[in-house]
Amino acid sequence: MTDTESKRSYDDPPYTTGRHQPSGWVGMVVFAGVMLLMLGGFQIIEGLVALFRDDFYVTTDAGLVIPMDFSAWGWTHLIIGLITLGTGFGILFGQTWARVVGVVIAVFSSLANLAFLPAYPVWATIVIALDVLVIYALTAHGREVRY
């Protein structure tokens, strides 16, 4: 038996089938999508608590960075949470619009939690940190998940 096919070196590009071959960073984008789903759930819970149990938080509404009633903060977190949930599903399905909306909604989420920091300092700090991770994953490796 003879070897009729030439040997490929490591410098040759891999054979392509016309489809995009994802790199190892696809896991980071899936992580961002799952984190957006979790953050959406967290925002919804935070919003519902602000709507129904405003005595739960550490400070009064006068002690917040932006002094609004807790029901206004509740609606803000609830709307951000619902948009975040939809965006997380869009990321997992490889939609381009979801990457853009994901970065924008993560920025708004982190700003809202920064303003809400005096009311719930530990949780708001955790959400801000997770928002930063989502922004990094979507901006640095967002193109890895597409169909």
How many Å apart are CA 91 and CA 95, to the nearest integer? 6
- Residue 46 has a pLDDT of 86
pTM of the model: 0.74
How many Å apart are CA 141 and CA 132, to the nearest integer? 14
How many Å apart are CA 98 and CA 86, to the nearest integer? 8
How many Å apart are CA 100 and CA 2, to the nearest integer? 53
CB atoms within 10 A of CB 3: 6
Is the separation of the CB atoms in 104 and 91 below 8 Å?
no
- Residue 110 has a pLDDT of 93
Residue 107: CA atoms inside 13 Å, Cβ hemisphere, count? Answer: 7
Is the separation of the CB atoms in 110 and 47 below 8 Å?
no
- 3-state DSSP call for residue 80? helix
Per-residue pLDDT of the chain (147 residues; tens, 9 = 90+): 555 655 655 555 555 555 656 666 678 888 889 999 999 998 999 889 888 887 777 666 667 777 777 788 889 989 999 999 999 999 988 888 998 999 999 999 999 889 888 878 888 899 999 999 999 988 886 666 655
Write the DSSP string, 60-77.
Answer: -GGGSSS---HHHHHHHH
